[in-house]
Amino acid sequence: MDPKILKFMDSAKIDILELDNDIDIPGIKQELYPFQKQGVSFIEAKNGRALIGDEMGLGKTIQALAWLQLHPELRPALIVCPASLKLNWEREAELWMEDPQVEVISGKKPYILTGQIIIMNYDILPNKYKKEKNRAGKIVDVEILRTGWIDYIIDIKPKVAVADEVHYTKSGKAHRTKALKKLAKAVPNFIGLSGTPIINRPVEFFNIINIIDRTVFPDYWKFTKRYCDAKRNGFGWDMSGSANTEELHKILTERIMIRRLKKDVLKELPDKSYSFIPIELDNQNEYDSAEKNFLSWVKKHKGAEAVERASNAQALAEIEGLKQIAVRGKLKQAIKWIEDFLESDQKLVIFATHKFVIAHLMDSFKNIAVKVDGSVSGTNRQLAVDKFQNDVKTRLFIGNIKAAGVGLTLTASSSVVFLEYPWTPGELSQASDRVHRIGQENAVNIYYLLAEYTIEEQIAELLDEKRKVLDSVLDGKRPEKGSLLMDLITKYSKDETN
């Protein structure tokens, strides 16, 4: 190894095998897996400045929240994340922490903050910039102070900053990167989270490494020449490559980063894990109006029994209208979530029901996706599956739950997303089992992307309850067909009378 590099590898080295995997976290509301406790121990050993680089689905969020729970004296704490993940951070904080006092920031105009755990998105953190000429006559960006949140955040003196999907700061010229650097200098503790492999794109992580610990690689040019295979081309320097990746990985894991893959901790993981990801609607007024009309319809029919006697078809039609409004309202944010997931270099299986949803997804990811729905013939179905299974550039499989939920093997992915939901838990399990099949080498993560405070949450909750019953019944007997519909009407009937 280059002697110039060795000088940075000193007493800061940490052997992952020596980390405590049974650390006591007073007040934590759920049990962490041993490898997650090890992650908390790593942050602790690094004095609150660390990068959790675990593969998608291993609970980076949980490890960061557990460390915050371990240190209730470090408040206020700030969490910066993509807009599509703000509600999920709020939900997870309430699930895992004891009295977290969460406040989610919305809007670009600063106001007085009172929360102890403050959650915000990258887009509203930086101040605005205007272009001006400097003394040499060159056009430069000049920061306009206090037009974003960054100065207000620094004024409240946060003790911790957590940057989720921290690879959002890969560009040194981006305003969000400049703001995060400013924040990192002002807080004593800084935790970065990213499942994106650093050794594949070293140049994109220089800013992140520098934000967490600037002593690791203080010189940008030396870093890019050694690890990015920097070369001159006809337009300047090309730093998109990689070199000496094993050395880079060794230095990072000894200094600032802990990274585990699913295969590394497979023995600790359940075969399947389920996550509910709340998504904010962008058509809330339209949905509220439609739900009000639906509640009036339920009240008119006086509950589930009356609806069943009248017409199941009419009930389904009423609910169908609500479902379509909800899925339209969450599509934009759902696509952002999928884009963030794909940064991890993993493949993903997505299930939906409506043609317009599948069409929108295919249009958004047409260069990296295949689909199987009712319009795809038997031969073309298998071609789509083979392409997803064998082509590294084909990252997404988009399927209709009925058309693609049985008979296919999709083990190239260990992650499944449901954007829409069937009427029986059996269909839900069959669809997720396209991934959880013989040949699957990883634990399977199943994500429900749910429009917050809508009928989707009700449906998913009921499906999950029935799935648990279905999973526990040994003789294969399934819940009565149509029972979920009646349970749903009953829930709305109770809501109307409360």
Report, at the CATH architecture level, how domain 272-497 is classified: 3-Layer(aba) Sandwich (3.40)
Lowest mean pLDDT among 4-13, 306-315, 429-438, 464-473: 4-13
pTM given for the model: 0.87
Closest of 25, 77, 28 to residue 48, by C-alpha? 77
CA 95 to chain centroid, in Å, comes to 16
Domain 3-268, CATH among 3.40.1360.10, 3.40.50.1580, 3.40.50.1970, 3.40.50.10810: 3.40.50.10810
- What pLDDT score does 398 carry? 98
pLDDT confidence bin for 20, thresholds 50/70/90: confident
Each residue's pLDDT tens digit, 368-385: 999 999 999 889 999 999
* pLDDT-derived band at 10, boundaries 50, 70, 90: very low
The yes-or-no verdict on residue 125 having pLDDT over 80 is: yes
CA distance 391 to 395: 8
pLDDT tops 90 at residue 346: yes
Give span(s): CATH 3.40.50.300, the chain. Answer: 272-497
259-278: average pLDDT = 92
Long-range contacts of 223-230 (CB under 8 A, 24+ apart): 226/2, 226/5, 227/202, 227/203, 228/202, 228/203
How far apart CA 372 and CA 239 sit, in angstroms, is 39
Taking only the tens place, the pLDDT of each residue in 397-423 is: 999 999 998 889 999 999 999 999 988
Q: What is the reported pLDDT for 311?
A: 58
Q: Is 392 exposed, middle or buried (0-12, 13-18, 19+ CB in 10 A)?
A: exposed
Q: Are 51 and 91 in contact (CB under 8 A)?
A: no
Query: Residue 318 has what pLDDT?
Result: 82
Q: Which two tokens stand for residue 277?
A: 């990801």
Model pLDDT for residues 156-190, shown as the tens digit of each residue: 999 999 999 998 888 888 889 999 999 999 999 99
The pLDDT of residue 9 is above 50? no
Q: Which residues contact 11 (CB under 8 A, 6 or more apart)?
A: none
Q: What would the pLDDT profile of 210-236 be if each residue is shown by its tens digit?
A: 999 999 999 999 999 999 988 888 788
What pLDDT was estimated at residue 473? 47
Nearest to 331 by CA among 79, 84, 86, 68: 84
pLDDT for 481: 43
* Confidence at 268, pLDDT banded by 50, 70, 90: very high
* pLDDT at residue 162, as a whole number: 98
pLDDT band at 308 (very low <50, low <70, confident <90, very high): low
What value does the mean pLDDT take over residues 259-266? Answer: 92
The rounded mean pLDDT for the chain is: 87
Range list for CATH 3.40.50.10810 in the chain: 3-268
State percent of the chain over pLDDT 70: 90
Q: How confident is the model at residue 116 (pLDDT cuts 50, 70, 90)?
A: very high
Residue 6 banded pLDDT, cuts 50, 70, 90: very low
CA distance 306 to 408: 40
pLDDT at res. 13 = 54
- pLDDT tier at 494 (50, 70, 90 boundaries)? low
**pLDDT over 70 at 475, yes or no:** no
